[in-house]
Each structure stands twice: as structure tokens, then as C-alpha cells.
Amino acid sequence: MDFTFTEEQQAAVEAAKAVFSGVTPDRVPSPALTPGAVADDYDRPLWAALADSDLLSLVLSPEHGGAGLDPVALCLVLRESAKVLARVPLLETSAVAMTIERYADPALSAELLPAIGRGTLVLTAAAHGRTGHDPAPLAVTARQDGAAWILDGTQTAVPWAHSADRIAVPAHTGDGRTVLALVPRVHDGLTLTDQVSTSGELLAEVRLDATRVPAHDVIDAEGAWERLHQLLATGTCALALGLGEAVLTMTSQYTSKREQFGHPVATFQAVAVQAADRYIDLRAMEATLWQAAWRISSGATGALPPAGDIAVAKIWASEGVRRVVQTAQHLHGGFGADTDYPLHRYHAWAKQLELSLGPAAAHEEALGDLLAAHPLG
């Protein structure tokens, strides 16, 4: 397997590193010490810096002012963002933008995509359904009424909904199809209720009550929601990988300096073995991530559809990032629980990523269904 990245992808990584170099995880209050959300908005100065560095237009085609790169490049940038717990809707905006460009009417693409690249239009996606366990499209119904669609239902745990300009809402029609509506945040029939994530970020329950959306703003193409969900799941795996790598680096640095019995604790066999196990977890997370990102980027065929590779990647991401932060807390001892030290923040973010878009068990079930439907010869 060749994991060599193209010059353009490597350039994106370098640009991301430069932008994120000035970001610290302690920009907002600690979730452990804050009764509600740690902030009511995303990091707008960082968002502006991403736009100035052309990282928001990275995956857009040159026709819309972008670089025309693929989901692999996006995952590389997301990986860097997670290392510093960057509080920006980069995954959601980029994933919805790629879906718009591929499936939406050209007029809608021309209207929205240039503004996305400039950082003046922020998007998010409702991907968790009504409870977080049921398929997202089943949580909302859609029926056509002349030149508009009428939406009814509830989506929970929508990230950045209070700050985004539009929310991509999947909904099911009476004939079993799924449409994707791009609903303005301020819109008749749409209500946002505060929710708080494990990481302390402000989420929203999105209620739609006979919400009327012009057909112009609804993507009615087959496969649009599936593509968006694949991009969100793969991007979540990239975030988990970047976070895990940062945590293992923190652990390595701490155990190399912390001494017991006159020796760094990193030299003790029990400590070294645990750290080595977590390194293996990260390498497995990395291999499965790039396999999934490559499948959805290239359209290459395989024994299973791309959903199988994405399920495997999310299983490793969920289980792996959980083990990495748990081992880090253990090896840091009491210092790891100190709220003046950033490790507890990474632990909270890791738990959020572990469960986002379904825990490992949900993806194991999905993988089992795929294997049953596509027997391996």
C-alpha cells in the first residue's frame, strides 16, 4: 500500500500547520468547570485565517474559486485541526459544500460555493436523527407542495447550528426517497433548542414544523445524503486520528520527564508496553482512514461498497481514540485530571468523536449487514 500524498495534498498540510500553529486548546473555558456550553460561537478569527489561507476552498472546483482537491486532502487538514482542538465547522461546511457541488443544481452551486470558499457562508449538517440512534432521514418527512417542499420533524445534536447560515437537513419522502434541504438558520417553522455536547460545545435540537423550503434549495438527486454521510463519517475518523496523535505525543513527553526511583517512567516496561499498544492503535486508525478516504475519493470498486471501508475506519476510530485517551490519563496519573492541563479537554473531545455518527457497535452491525449482503468469494 502506498500512502504517499501528492504535492498538492502535502501543501495543504503545511498550510494547515501554519494556521493552526497559533491555536491553543485553552481558548475557551474548560468543559469540566462550565455548567453550560463553553462558548456560544465558533472561533471566528481562526475561521477567517482558514479562509485567507484558501483552506475553506480546498475541496471546491476551480470553477468556484477552489483548488479542486479531494476528501483525502480534507482529512489531512482535519487531522491537523484536531491536534489543537480547533473550534471551527470545517468538517461540516466542507462536506456539505462537496455534496452541493456534486449533486445540486448548477445555479445553486454558483450561488453558494464561492461564498463558502471566502468564509462568508457557513454550513452544517443534521446527521444524528431524532435520537442519535435512528437513521437521520427518517427523523424528518418531506412532501412537495408546488414549487416548495414542506418539512416536519426533529433532528438532534446538530453542531454549530446556532452559528451556521444554513443547515443541511435530510428528510424522507412518501415514496421512500431521501432529499437534502438547505434550510436557513433563521426561517419560518424552524426552531433551535440548546444542547451541550460532551466536549462542552453548543449543539442544537432542530425542530421543523411545516417548514416551507423552496425547491431551489432542496437537493433531490439520488445518493446525495449517502455521500454527505460518508464524508462526515470519514472526516470524523480523521479528527479522531489527529486528536489521538496529539494525546500520545503529550503522554510521551510527560512520561519522558516524570521520574520515579531515579528513572523516567517511560523507561519502565509496563509504561512502554501500554504506549506501544496505543501507537499500534493509531497506525490502524490511520490505515483504515486512508483506505476509506481513498475509496470515496477515487470511486474504486472493491469486494464491499465504500460504506464497508468507512464502517471499518469508524470502528477503529471509536475504539482506538477511546483507548488512547484512557491510557494517557492512566500514565499521567493525577496530573491528567488537573483542569489547568489540557489532557482532560482531549478526553472530552475524544468521547464526543467516539460516539458521533454512531459508536463502534453501530458500525459493526452495519458492517455485518454489508458482509451478509455481499458474500466474499
Say how far apart CA 271 and CA 209 lie, in whole Å: 55
Q: What is the pLDDT of residues 124-143, one digit of tens each?
A: 999 999 988 889 999 999 99
Q: Where are the beta strands (DSSP E) in 215-274?
A: 218-219, 259-260, 263-264
CA distance 316 to 282: 9
DSSP-assigned letters across all residues of 3-58: -PPPHHHHHHHHHHHHHHTT--TTSS--TTT-SS-S-SS--HHHHHHHHHTT-TTT
Cα angle 102, 105, 110; round to 5: 85
Residue 62 has pLDDT above 70, yes or no: yes
Q: In the predicted model, is pLDDT for residue 167 greater than 70? A: yes
DSSP letter at 190 equals E
Q: Residue 290 CA to chain centroid, in angstroms?
A: 15
All three cell numbers of 219, joined, read 437537493
pLDDT at 87 over 80: yes
Residue 377 has pLDDT above 80, yes or no: no
Q: How many CB atoms lie within 10 A of CB 192?
A: 17
Per-residue pLDDT tens over the stretch 327-365: 999 999 888 888 999 999 999 999 999 999 999 999 999
pLDDT for res 317: 98
Quick one: what percent of the chain has pLDDT higher than 70?
99
Task: State pLDDT tens for residues 91-120.
Answer: 999 999 999 999 999 999 999 999 999 999
Q: 202: closest CA among 147, 159, 239, 141?
A: 159
Give the pLDDT of residue 2. Answer: 67
> Above 90 in pLDDT, residue 168?
yes
pLDDT of residue 1: 58
- Mean pLDDT, all residues of the chain: 95
Of 88-92, 146-150, 334-338, least confident by mean pLDDT is 334-338
Q: Are 109 and 64 in contact (CB under 8 A)?
A: yes
Tell me the per-residue pLDDT of 19-60, one tens digit each, with 9 for 90 and over: 999 999 999 999 999 999 999 999 999 999 999 999 999 999
Give the residue carrying C-alpha cell 476510530.
317
pLDDT computed for residue 277 by the predictor: 96
343 burial via Cβ count (<10 Å: 0-12, 13-18, 19+): buried
Residue 169: pLDDT band (50, 70, 90) is very high
Instruction: Give the range among 63-77, 233-247, 325-339 with minimum mean pLDDT.
Output: 325-339
Neighbours of 27 (CB within 10 A): 15
DSSP string for residues in 125-149: E--STTTSSS-GGGGEEEEEETTEE
**Which pTM does this prediction carry?**
0.97
* Cα–Cα distance measured from residue 250 to residue 328, given in angstroms and rounded to the nearest whole number: 8
Residue 238: alpha-carbon gap to chain centroid: 8
Share of the chain above pLDDT 90, in %: 90
How many other C-beta atoms can be found within 10 angstroms of the C-beta atom of residue 221? 15
User: Residues 144-158: what's their mean pLDDT?
Assistant: 97
166's enclosing H/E stretch is strand 166-172
Question: Which tens digit of pLDDT belongs to each residue from 310-335?
Answer: 999 999 999 999 999 999 999 998 88
Instruction: Choose among 235, 159, 155: nearest CA to 196.
Output: 159
